[in-house]
Structure 1
């Protein structure tokens, strides 16, 4: 599971910012999952993290950064292309000369790993991979522009000598199916940025999904107030049942509303993650879904019985989902806020702030400006 992510000098982020899924305290039975280490001890990790903020506050930058880190650890050509997309903080001339830095902490098979990468345009300026035990840190490798230091028993010397300056050693090792590096790259490949938008009309793999989650899919669709009363799986193509004057009518997905299609696409991604785990990254989730559906989607992931693979969702939205049935949908530790300072740099903070322009104020300011322009 993902524990922490740090980024620096990327798009609207200038200084080091950290996003964590670790929960400091539990206020409800839904306060996260216990994750145990092989050497003993445990931490409580959240399956949900929301990043909230106004338009252009930088909240989407966090998801883009995680997606870029995933690409840097992917197959060789993808890693080189990601390194060429150098996007430093533009409002400070000094930042344009510095590399972008990403670092992620996660737990895999009971071991806590730290992987990081620093890069400029077409150049890996630094890279490191550490494994943490009870009392010590094992440096699997550390690399800069000129040297690479590897753990002797890892057998990475030959790979380190052959990797080119535009490719991460992790991606190169994964391509070579190195037994130590391939599982790490595979975990990072589970950081999946999902693009869902009303009107896109994707709906892929719905028939395969229905065979595994037929009862749950029926419940999630009929309870969503979409006018759907059931799911018809009697044919090779799944159809949704609507009530008409002549009785129930099964209809194909092509006639459904854009909002229904977006909900189906999200369910496909969520239910697949509940089966296989991984980290889903979804931008502007409240722009896609009605608040009721958003609440139901979050409840799927925080349910220990429905989420045995410990899938996680990191999403952005403009505001925190409202309380449902007298209970908060998200714990305070699961909420982060993206805010911009006077210098234009994004910070991630625990406490949000009220918008500087209240309802109706912008319209009044525009009206007053128009009056001043009149002769």
Structure 2
């Protein structure tokens, strides 16, 4: 009996190790397919809604939603790849000009620093000037490195492979959306009834959290767009409506936010010598960032089923561990934990 148990344990251990090794080699090259499966899973409630609301067959509902998704992804790719890359190339070509403007500004700043520190001891004045010089030099090197023309063109050379990955993603997404009920039946066939019920609860919680997250993003983006419109009418009335719409569209996209528009815009005016306008844009960017960081946890917590404090902690810890993507991963891990606890998979009933 003990030998049989030991053999089963060894066999299961070897299977788990084999799956881990296979996943280590297969997952990196299967990212488009995995993302397509996740996207199809998240779009499934919309497919079911279309079927119930308008009495559509699954194929027609999938075709409509897939067409809308394809148009949205195509528009996003157009703006991000063509427009953004062309602007980066243009900036990279003009980098020497911007560096010269930065150097002129530094010379003026150096004169102000010299006047401000003329009464300081010689050692303190020299140390302060050396520190600021090193800082400006590092800023110049970082600017040149980021907007390096060769680096940008080498990135553009990778676009064909990215396009192939996108094509695979789109094809796999359509096939997953069509066959998702069949795939669910195949998976549930190998699960016990209790395990299948727990799996349904967990997936329902995650889907609700995802759509709650998207609702929260849209709501916060409307607040950001309204504040941006008011601020830009005060700062730059000529471009207020256009730029506010752009900021609102960008802010809807998770992890980007309005600062991706206002920071380069303010930097451009700073390099052009429009210091007052640049400072106003930086102040507006700071205000919008503060609004997002204070309002977002409360709104997101209300929509994904968490109170503001756990949401804030999860977003902060996720940001520290996983970077900007952690703002989404953190709350989802908390939701997954509560779902696993609700289904009894995780049991933490103890007292100290």
Bin the TM-score by the shorter chain.
Answer: under 0.3
Higher relative strand content: 1
- Structure showing greater relative contact order (alpha-carbon pairs closer than 8 Å, 6 or more residues apart): 1
Which protein is bigger by CA-based radius of gyration? 2
Give the TM-score normalised by the residue count of structure 1.
Answer: 0.21
Give the TM-score normalised by the residue count of structure 2.
Answer: 0.22
Higher relative helix content: 2
